[in-house]
Chain A
Amino acid sequence: MPFALLKYGLAKEHPEDPHFRWAPELKSTYDVVVIGAGGHGLAIAYYLAARHGITNVCVLDKGWLAGGNTARNTTIIRANYLTPEGVKFYKESVDLWRGLSNQLDINMMYSERGHFTLAHTDAAMRTARWRAEVNKHLGVKSEVIDADEVKRLCPTINISDDVRYPVLGALYHPPGAIARHDAVAWGYAKEAIKRGVEVHTQTGVNKILIENGRAVGVETNRGTIRAGKIVQAVAGSSSEVARMAGFLLPIRTIPLQACVSEPVKPILDQIIVSGSLHVYISQSARGEMVMGGATDPYGLYSTRSTLDFKESLMAHMLELFPFMGELKVLRQWAGMADMTPDFSPVMGLTPVQNYYIDAGWGTWGFKATPVCGARMAECIVDDRQPELLKPFALDRFRTFDLVGEKGAASVGH
């Protein structure tokens, strides 16, 4: 609308239409209190309001909106997992992602690039074949391709034999995508707030109030709130918050680091991952090479960066992509990843009544934001574990029903 733009440009006053209308005061009671305003917490609040008409909801965050892992991840979205339980779950997420920009009326820059999991050994080729078959069986596009085909689809990669770990082939997953992570959080927050949900930042939960085995409220640095139901979605702080509710989790908190290069012209369209080399890379819409590797080798509640990470990452990266030698690293950072023993999340009911959990997202939770939000909202409303989430119940560690998700190693996003 050029005229509208011209008028707007010449006008003296610019009518304000903020994305978020922050609620000034906390009420004393809500139907649902969501702890954690990351993508997951905001998505839960949005689906509670949009799908179930539950709008007396507040989302509390000790920091700022989506300042946790939602804004620290490398934004890879895919469904090419290994276990049938995992593939089904992430497939539903990819389906939701595809319509999300329209649904939330914000441009998430969702961009399907094709996701390549490189294999450098016969064993890795076998796993790729296994994953491809499970994927295809469940309707997820994945296939095994050889090194020449990798080169044809991704001309910048080095498939020479003259390296320490030559590329033998790859699991190729065409729907693999990236998205703008902040926009995901802003979109959910904006649409949830529009429907009456309140989001309170700088509001940390210090205590969960329990009466007769039921969660009834939370104590925050801004006072006490009563709640019909409470859900925690606090990524790297899951164990600490669950402890407030009185139970332990099968989780270790371990930093995961990433870095980006200075921005350059488009040169890499694909998402390239090597689980064996602990390396992954994609190019953002801004032109930065977004890179990550493995988790740190020991538990830590810290977001510090290390030199070891960069060194081990680059050693392999330069063999795969020699052109990277020309680029400078612009930024490096870390997020706290909650690792479970079976590399699968923990979602749903807890030992405490009216208290729900969304945790154990380790290094793989960004891609699950929509499906987790939608299904957790359903779980909270029905007070029952939805079919899709049954395999991911906390109880599985008591009954030995683990979901060994080898398609989710700490590198394989």
Chain B
Amino acid sequence: MKILTCPVNGPRNITEFVWGGEVKAMPDAAASDDAWTGYLFLETNLAGEIDEWWLHAPTNTWFIARRNTVTDTVLETMTVDAYFARRSGSAT
């Protein structure tokens, strides 16, 4: 059985989690229709390392994992706060 480590609840069975897809930047409310449909539907779907949303369903905890989509190895999991603090810190 595959184990995923929730940054709040620790290592748990993968069946307790729901995959939420890749992290994307939400467009500005006034952005064009194209920008919004792109945000809704288009996927980077990279074969490689991606940042993605996961939900630990029993505790309703959303968090971020960095995972390699070719080897299926999780490189790191972190809380949403930690993830976005780091992103703004590195000015990306």
Contacts and interface: CB of A to CB of B under 8 A. Distances in A.
Given A297-B19, A302-B70, A397 B45 contact: no
A341 B46 CA distance: 17
Given A300-B69, A301-B69, A307 B41 contact: no
What class of interface size applies to chain B in its complex with A?
20 to 34
Interface string A227-252: 00000000001011000000011111
B18 interface: yes
A306 B14 CA distance: 12
A299 interface: yes
Given A307-B1, A308-B15, A250 B72 contact: no
B68 to A, nearest CB: 9
A397 B40 CA distance: 9
Contacts of A240: 45, 47
Contact of B72 (A239, A253, A300): A300
B18 A297 contact: yes
Nearest to B54: A298
A343 B14 CA distance: 25
A370 B19 CA distance: 34
Q: Which one of A251, A307, A341, A398 has the greatest number of beta carbons of chain B within 10 Å?
A: A398
Contacts of B38: 248
Interface of A: 237, 239-240, 248-253, 297-302, 304, 306-308, 341, 397-398, 400
A251 B19 contact: no
Contact of A249 (B14, B40, B43): B43
A308 B19 CA distance: 16
Given A240-B47, A398-B34, 13 more contacts: A237-B47, A239-B43, A250-B43, A252-B43, A253-B45, A253-B47, A298-B19, A299-B19, A300-B70, A300-B72, A302-B70, A302-B72, A400-B37
- Top 4 closest A-B pairs, CB basis? A298-B19, A239-B45, A250-B41, A248-B42
A148 B45 CA distance: 46
15 contacts: A239-B43, A239-B45, A248-B42, A249-B42, A249-B43, A253-B45, A253-B69, A298-B19, A299-B19, A299-B21, A302-B70, A308-B1, A308-B14, A397-B37, A398-B37
Contacts of A302: 69-72
Q: Which one of B34, B44, B72 has the greatest number of beta carbons of chain A within 10 Å?
A: B72
A251 B34 contact: no
A-side binding surface: helix, strand, loop or mixed? loop
B70 A301 contact: yes
Contacts of B72: 300, 302, 304
Interface of B: 1-2, 14-15, 18-19, 21, 33-34, 37-38, 40-47, 52, 69-72
Contact of A248 (B14, B19, B43): B43
Contacts of B15: 308
A245 B12 CA distance: 40
A252 B41 contact: no
A213 B40 CA distance: 25
Contacts of A237: 47
A252 B21 contact: yes
Given A297-B19, A299-B19, A301-B70, A252 B34 contact: no
Contacts of A299: 19, 21, 45, 52, 69
Given A300-B69, A301-B69, A301-B70, A397 B19 contact: no
A240 B72 CA distance: 17
Nearest to B13: A308
Nearest to A247: B42
Contacts of A397: 37, 40-42
B57 to A, nearest CB: 11
A301 B47 contact: yes
Contacts of B47: 237, 240, 253, 301
B31 to A, nearest CB: 14
Contact of A251 (B43, B52, B70): B43
Contacts of B69: 253, 299-302
A395 to B, nearest CB: 10
Contacts of B19: 297-299
Q: Which one of B34, B41, B52 has the greatest number of beta carbons of chain A within 10 Å?
A: B41
A308 B72 CA distance: 15
A296 to B, nearest CB: 9
Nearest to B71: A302
A240 B70 CA distance: 12
Contacts of B44: 239, 248
Nearest to A237: B47
A179 to B, nearest CB: 30
Contacts of A304: 72
